[in-house]
Amino acid sequence: MNPVMVCLWIFAAVCAGTWVLSLITREYSWTDRIWSLVPLAYVWVFAAASGFEGRLVLMAVLVTLWGARLTFNFARKGGYAPGGEDYRWAILRRRLKPWQFAVFNLLFISIYQNIIIFLMTLPALTVYQNPAPLNAGDWILAVLFAGALAGETAADQQQWNFQQWKGQERKSGRTPTPGFLQSGLFRYSRHPNFFFEQAQWWLFYGFAVAATGAWLHWTVLGALLLTLLFMGSTVFTESISRSRYPDYVQYQYRTSAIIPLPPRQGLRPAAEAG
């Protein structure tokens, strides 16, 4: 079978399905709901087409672990339940005219995001086209991938614990203070889960390097576009956080946006805070 054609058929079906479901349900998180599932299909298609060549099987197993963890975290937050739409889409709908959001839903949510999902798995194509035995580089990448997976798991668990505490405080009639997580991994990065998520897909691209010995392939485009997507998502998310929490600007001043770094000391000068 031609694995690229199989994956393109999956891609077309997913784009159409997420868009139609968004129109039927008036919920716009259907791409979020398949984000952790469809990459598994793409990579396993390449693994099967190769006759389950060792490097592709290793890549598929790692992506399966990534998908299982992300699916679990998304499910426990209610992402698959009716009404489990990402809160940011409702805010964006209020900022855009109806026709503008309709275009955004079709072109960005249903098509562009699925293009990124497809592209970020395509280092598997490079590996498929360049079969070679596993080497030490593959195992180093696998260990680093597992480390990034563990880091994202820890970050999401810390966020989950914090949100559960906030919910209990509100049920008890108290205002949660602080209003956003600033401890644990979030002391060193405002979005450590974003950092580890991106790291996993850059490491996934590393398998194309291990297979060929060449550092640059066009299939790096997926990891690059994913990073750009997270950059835009960070700006949008933090604009919401600043509007909700007056002290968020100080958190931005002392804490790295993505890459975990030692926190900056002191307070942001008033002129900069404005």
- Tracing tokens 């197993």 back to the chain, one arrives at 61
pLDDT at site 269? 55
Q: pTM of the full predicted structure?
A: 0.92
Residue 152: phi, psi to the nearest 5?
A: -70, -35
Q: How far apart are CA 133 and CA 226, in angstroms?
A: 29
Residue 273: phi, psi to the nearest 5?
A: -60, -30
Task: Work out the end-to-end distance of the chain between its first and last CA atoms, rounded to an integer number of angstroms.
Answer: 59
Quick: pLDDT tens for 229-259: 999 999 999 999 999 998 999 999 999 999 9
**Nearest Cα to 258, choosing from 233, 221, 223?**
233
Query: Which whole number is the average pLDDT over 177-189?
Result: 95
Helix axes 192-212 and 136-171, enclosed angle (nearest 10): 170
